[in-house]
Amino acid sequence: MRSKKMRQMTGLLAAVFCSAALLTGCGNEGSSSEPESGSAQGSENQESSDSAENNSQESGGSESGSQDNENTGEVVTIKYLRPGTAVEHNDELVQAINEKLAADGTGLQLEIMYVPSDVFSDKVNMMLQGGDEFDLLAVMEDQKSFTTYIGSEGIIPITQYVKDSEVLNRVIPQYMWESATVGGEIYTIPANWTENADQACCITIRREKLEEYQLEDPKTMEDLLNMCEVFTEKWDGPSAPVIIPMYKEPFTWLFRTLDTYPFTVQKDLIFIDQEGNVKNWMETDEFRQTAEFFRTCYEKGYVPEDVLSSSWSSWNTMLTGDFIWVDGCQLWGTEEVWNERIPGTTLDTIYLNPDAPSFRPASFRNDTAVSVTSKHPAEAVKFMEWVYSSQENYDLMVYGVEGLTWKNEGEGLYTKLIPDFEFNADWMIGNMEYERYEVGTYQKFIDIMGVEKPDAENSIVLNFVFDPANVATEYANCLAEVEARVWPIKLGIISMDEGYEDALAKLKAAGIDKVVEEYQRQLNEYLAAQ
């Protein structure tokens, strides 16, 4: 069905270099769920944000069946802070986890603290500043990276707890550990639930419409524009079809059409070629070409006018079926479900410029860190080790109780017994060693997301982590300018002629040159040490 993860981590991690990539967001939703909006593989989930605040949404914590901690004689409660709201049967599911923790003699029990997805980052900041105690923090890299938490002293190094863990070193590959390392210390536990090579380098289309309109698969920017024109001219849906850009991530899928590909763009701010040259993304020919492409699309009405507004939802727009293409592999859910949503549809994922190399631009997209407010850091890591120590434990934590929330279909497949159920999303803590897929999942989705590609070319900064400490103010200011001034140009809302000089000037004033210089310096040191 799918290949097992290659065993790459051997030995201790104490000698891991101060390295690893400044990670793109690409939060990913698990294969058993579907993305919400605004992010390429949606690091948010579909749980409603209309719930009560996190502390009133705590679950589990029942001490029945618990046994004493191996060292202290007490049961240690691990408080796990995650985005979303409590699911159906939440208390029962946490109780089942705690019973298994007790049966395994861990001396641990779990308490899940929920924070609505749309306010997660802000709420976490408030909790950390207020000294609220919790142990594990779900990190959504597209919203706030673990390096940012390091800079704000929100998380702690965990090297001493993971370096000798046979379980963690077995199920998480070495390159991910290197990408989780800053200053020689490991700071986070990567979610190794998906292969990052190529998943953001493709687009999702309506195959039946290409066939109906007698169109070949697009390979170039010109092909894409022609497809837009034909779709718009012949479309018979209730609304004009649109491009659905997951704009918070760089358009890796479009980069494949450029002669200089592959290269890496981080945060729509930093450009790095495979020779290790660092530039301001806005000052590259590649930025100009992609921005001009989207300007044409916007002028012709192919990009939603409200794409940058808070009310616009990429996911909800996709659900209408009125789209030309969507960024990335968006084959979430089963073929049956999609045909119920959009009758007669045949979704497919394709790559522009199919001769371009397979490329891995980022190491991981989501991860789990230990809070600076934790009083039990060793036990917190021990809990994660327990999750990854067996298929049974993983199933409990991710899918819930077999027979209650899911049914085992064998061969790495399962059936949801509760529609749209998502307990602890695999995009948060998933692992390819144990990942399951719903019966009826698109095979192409499994091939792209669930199979390792050992021959993929890695980004030169895959295992390099930029430390912004020396340019913290400038870096933060530049990221703010990206959102305010670069994104409108990137999406074609403002033309290069109208907005480029002003946006570039604002970036310069914010300190982009200093950020680029510092990034280049650190990268040079990293490469010299290889």
Kindly report the CATH class assigned to 203-267+280-360: alpha beta
Q: Cβ–Cβ contacts within 10 Å for residue 305, how many?
A: 11
Confidence of residue 463 (pLDDT cuts 50, 70, 90): confident
CA 402, CA 414: separation in Å to the nearest integer?
10
217 within 8 A of 210, measured Cβ to Cβ = yes
User: Higher confidence at residue 282 or residue 236?
Assistant: 282
Largest CA distance in the chain: 72
What is the residue whose two structure tokens read 């963690």?
Answer: 168
Structure tokens of 500? 């480029």
pTM for this model (two decimals):
0.77
pLDDT score, position 157: 97
Among the residue ranges 256-265, 372-381, 464-473, the one predicted with the least confidence is 464-473
Spacing of C-alpha 279 from chain mean position: 24
What helix, strand, coil percent values describe the chain, rounded to 5?
35, 15, 45
CA torsion angle for 511, 514, 515, 516 (degrees, to 10)?
120
Measure Cα distances from 363 to 24, 164, 174, 334, 457 in Å: 9, 22, 10, 27, 12
pLDDT score, position 69: 59
Of the chain, the end-to-end C-alpha distance in Å amounts to: 36
pLDDT tens-digit readout, 137-152:
999 887 888 988 998 8
pLDDT tens-digit readout, 80-113:
999 999 999 999 999 999 999 999 999 999 999 9
Check whether 456 has a pLDDT greater than 60.
Answer: yes
Same fold, 54-197+363-458 and 203-267+280-360: yes
3-state secondary structure of 450: coil
Kindly report the CATH class assigned to 54-197+363-458: alpha beta
Mean pLDDT of 121-146: 92
The DSSP code sequence of 337-389 is HHHHHSTT--EEEE-SSTTSPPEE--S-SEEEEEBTT-S-HHHHHHHHHHHTT
27-31, 103-107, 465-469: which is most confident: 103-107
pLDDT score, position 419: 85
The DSSP code sequence of 270-316 is EEEETT--EEEGGGSHHHHHHHHHHHHHHHTT-S-TTTTSTT--HHH
- What does the mean pLDDT of the chain come to? 86
User: Which long-range contacts (C-beta less than 8 Å, at least 24 apart) are formed by 492-500?
Assistant: 492/291, 492/293, 492/294, 492/295, 492/296, 492/297, 492/298, 492/299, 492/303, 493/298, 493/303, 493/307, 493/308, 495/295, 496/288, 496/291, 496/292, 496/295, 500/282
CA 511, CA 331: separation in Å to the nearest integer?
40
CA 30, CA 34: separation in Å to the nearest integer?
7
What is the residue whose two structure tokens read 């949606």?
Answer: 42
Check whether 257 has a pLDDT greater than 50.
Answer: yes
pLDDT score, position 426: 83
Closest to 121 measured CA to CA, from 138, 102, 100: 138
Domain ranges of the chain: 54-197+363-458, 203-267+280-360, 468-528
Among the residue ranges 371-385, 417-431, 471-485, the one predicted with the least confidence is 417-431
pLDDT tens-digit readout, 213-248:
999 999 999 999 999 999 999 999 889 999 999 888
pLDDT tens-digit readout, 350-375:
999 999 999 998 888 899 999 999 99
pLDDT score, position 70: 56
Find all residues with CB under 8 Å of 419, minimum gap 6, and list them: none
Confidence of residue 427 (pLDDT cuts 50, 70, 90): confident
